[in-house]
């Protein structure tokens, strides 16, 4: 967990995961393992089930920064295999029902489920009142995303799940990047 400690530590899901010993604090970019999966909303590739091999070998890194203030940090990190999550719906108290606005814990739960680490995802979910609801709310989406073998397939699945009928020339990943930068 790379955290800039921008949130109230009592409300921050990343801080809670560190306190419970589920996540290890990373203090410098250089501590990010080269072969790890780095969850980054500015990444150019989606997280897929085939990324499991990287997580088994080197782990998964969540970057806990404010999207508004942390864009420079998200762009600066070079280590690891950067991946973006496909569209999911938040269940946390602050952003309930909103797409894209996942807490750090929700992002980790989704990443772990997508890559087949069900037990680890359930352990994290159990720490939060909304944890199980997040899983239920996104269960069908995550199951569909797990089947995708390519970024193109993930793009198509998202178009179907969310009835997105934008031009085929515009990629959903580009819309996700635009959303991160503008919010």
Q: Indicate the average pLDDT of the chain.
A: 89
Query: What percent of the chain stands above pLDDT 70?
Result: 87
**Domain spans of the chain, in order of start:** 2-182
pTM of the full structure: 0.90
**What digits encode the pLDDT tens for the residues 153-169?**
999 999 999 888 766 55
Indicate if the pLDDT at residue 170 is higher than 80.
no
**What digits encode the pLDDT tens for the residues 42-62?**
899 999 999 999 999 999 999
Residues 6 or more apart whose CB falls under 8 angstroms from that of 131 comprise: 91, 105, 109, 124, 125
* Number of CB atoms found within 10 A of residue 137's CB: 18
pLDDT at 168: 57
Compare 49 and 101 and report the one with higher pLDDT.
Answer: 49
């Amino acid at each position: 967990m790379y955290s800039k400690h921008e949130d109230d530590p009592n409300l921050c899901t990343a801080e809670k995961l560190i306190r419970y010993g589920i996540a290890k604090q990373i203090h410098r970019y250089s501590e990010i393992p080269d072969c790890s999966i780095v969850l980054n909303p500015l990444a150019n590739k989606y997280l897929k089930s085939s990324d499991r091999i990287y997580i088994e070998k080197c782990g998964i890194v969540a970057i806990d920064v404010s999207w508004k203030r942390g864009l420079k940090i998200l762009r600066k990190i070079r280590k690891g295999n950067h991946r973006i999550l496909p569209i999911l719906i938040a269940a946390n108290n602050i952003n309930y029902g909103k797409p894209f606005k996942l807490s750090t814990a929700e992002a980790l739960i989704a990443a772990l489920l997508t890559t087949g680490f069900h037990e680890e995802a359930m352990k994290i979910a159990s720490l939060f009142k909304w944890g199980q609801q997040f899983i239920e709310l996104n269960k069908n989406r995550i199951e569909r995303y797990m089947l995708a073998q390519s970024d193109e397939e993930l793009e198509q699945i998202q178009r179907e799940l969310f009835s997105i009928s934008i031009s085929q020339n515009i990629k959903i990943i580009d819309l996700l990047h635009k959303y991160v930068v503008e919010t």
